[in-house]
Amino acid sequence: MANTTLQDAPVAASLFDRERRDIVDARKGLLIRITPDGELLLTSDERLLGHEEPFPEWSIVLGRWQGMPIAVVEAPCDDVSTARRAHKVTDCLPMLSDDERCLVATALEVLHWRRDHRFCGRCGSPMVMDAFEYAMHCKACGHICYPRLSPCIITLVTYGDDMLLARSPHFPAGRFSTLAGFIEPGENAEQAVKREIREEVGVDVHGVVFQRSQSWPFPHSFMLGFTAQTSTKDITIDGVEIEAADWFSIDELPALPPVGAISRWLIDQHVKQVKAKRHA
């Protein structure tokens, strides 16, 4: 796969504007509702956003959506007054646009952050949310906590046209995906790619190339997507993080991650390139 650069992939204007300083005290606009379990409450016709409405207490203003203030609030999944139904975020990915996925990721991560930093990790005193930026302040000791982002690598390994896909024990039955893992202290991303793949499936890779990134709010991961090649098809799974792994051709693929996930994008890009090569 060719390397993706900023010049190769111009960024279109987003419907979601993160600037919130002048509207942080807005009292009405568009609202995203998320359950305490992290599920999206969609409208009766399965849309993310409804009409303009008052912002409930404890909502957090995220910015603007198409010029209108937008906020997120944690809402009970059995709140039938809004006629909304709870859906797993991963199930919603295929029906959301890129801008909506970005919006949902922001909403989920901000809610996680506020919930997990109600008290100071240094002295235990209550924390107060900053009026203008995503920062929780401790007035007792001055400690400041920003939303956490955990950098991860996710990599499609290939041998010729075949793809190495694996499944974690927590995946839905039959689903395989690309290999992923957290970057450890002191590592760069390319070192993490090589270490994680060697640890999980016993394969050494080369030709590591960055492709694209994605915020993955489960609960606060930031995915760095790569492709890499290997010179062997011998696999030795770790049996802990990975319960099965195999090589797949584009003609015999297993159940894959949902559209909208960076793992699916890496797989789909490879499939397109192999098909284009066949018809060249």
Look-up of token digits 């709140």: 79
More confident residue, 83 or 57: 57
CATH of domain 150-275: 3.90.79.10
pLDDT of residue 263: 97
Please state which architecture CATH assigns to domain 16-116. Alpha-Beta Complex (3.90)
For the chain, the average pLDDT equals 91
Look at residue 131 in the predicted model and tell me its pLDDT.
80
- pLDDT over 90 (residue 2): no
100 contacts 32 by C-beta, under 8 angstroms: no
Q: What is the pLDDT of residue 133?
A: 87
Nearest to 267 by CA among 217, 240, 227: 227
pTM: 0.87
pLDDT > 90 fraction of the chain, expressed in percent and rounded = 81
pLDDT tens digits, one per residue of 261-277: 999 999 999 999 999 99
| Beta strand residue intervals within the chain, DSSP E | 16-17, 28-34, 40-42, 53-54, 60-65, 68-74, 85-87, 127-129, 136-138, 144-145, 150-159, 162-167, 179-182, 205-216, 221-230, 244-248
Q: What is the pLDDT of residues 136-159, one digit of tens each?
A: 999 999 999 999 999 999 999 999
Task: Specify the pLDDT at position 1.
Answer: 41
Closest CA to 266 of 252, 242, 250: 250
- Band of pLDDT at residue 4, cut at 50, 70 and 90: very low
pLDDT at 31 over 70: yes
Q: What percent of the chain has pLDDT over 70?
A: 93
Portions of the chain given CATH number 3.90.79.10: 150-275
